[in-house]
Amino acid sequence: MSGQSTTRTVPGSSGPGGARAGGRTGQRLSGLAVALGMVLFLGGFAWGAVLYLPYTVPTTSMAPTIGAGDRVLAQRIDGDEVRRGDVVVFKDATWSNVPMVKRVVAVGGDTVSCCQDGKLEVNGKEIDEPYLPEGSAAEFGNIPEVVVPKGRLFLLGDERSGSLDSTAHLSDAASGTVSRGAVKARVDAVVWPMNGMLEEPAGFEELGALSSPGPLRTVAGLVVAGAVLILGGAAYGPLAKRAGASRSRANAGTAGAR
């Protein structure tokens, strides 16, 4: 015997060329995953930046829906798109001329008053408002009957006892109403703390169609999916190298035991 050992390939296993081919395929797929992830991630952020504006709410006037210091995302909309029940961001010179967040409870042509049985009344219908603080009435003071002029909105805070809303401006020429053109955006979600999407104001449904939520969930889904693809694709190289090293050590141990 010559004392030389003979290396044989086990049937069904890949030789060095096959391993390199498999590695190249994996690298291509990981590269595609990272590229696609970047498109989704950056595209989602860009789409969100175009559609949404971030705001920090400094007071408790919209509690418990939005607390003091909460950060919200509000979809840019035209004032003509506002409907009853929407939580909107607006800016009006007679309301201190700074961005404010309130809930629209009546639109042009509506008659609003309060309170019968502790409930807000719009066009003769009592409105169920489950978003109000638990155990509180719709209004702590009476709202005289107000007919909202065309093209204007009547707004209230969800924390009715301390909100400087339309009830604080009833003596104004417009009876506390705000022009639709003053609206800059509609709040879709509280993102910090992560309370999520605002609940649908179903109590206004009998009076007309409600606003549909914006595409915030889709935007968030794109960003998350992109991040997963980027991390997964980037992790392929180190994981493949570690797996290859483990196989080499296992093969070396098997060969030494023969």
Residue 102 a catalytic site member: yes
Say whether 61 is catalytic: yes
Dig out the tokens for 72 from the structure: 């919200």
| Residue reference for tokens 């391993």 | 19
Which CA distances in Å does 42 have to 30, 38, 52, 224?
A: 18, 6, 15, 11
Residue with tokens 């010179």: 93
Please tell me which residue in 5, 13, 14, 61 is annotated as part of the active site: 61
| 141: three-class secondary structure by DSSP | coil
- Say if residues 183 and 89 touch (Cβ distance below 8 Å): yes
Whole-number Å distance between alpha carbons of 127 and 113: 11
Active site residue: 30, 96, 102, 163, which one? 102
As a residue count, the chain comes to 258
Task: Give the pairing of strands 111-116 and 143-147.
Answer: antiparallel
What backbone torsions phi and psi does residue 155 show, to the nearest 5 degrees?
-125, 140
Rg (CA), the chain: 30
Task: For residue 170, give the 3-state DSSP assignment.
Answer: coil
The CA distance from 28 to 44, in Å, is 24
Decide the pairing of beta strands 119-122 and 87-90: unpaired
- CA 190 to chain CA centroid, nearest Å: 7
Distance (Å, whole) CA 231 – CA 41: 11
Instruction: Write out the catalytic residue numbers.
Output: 61, 102
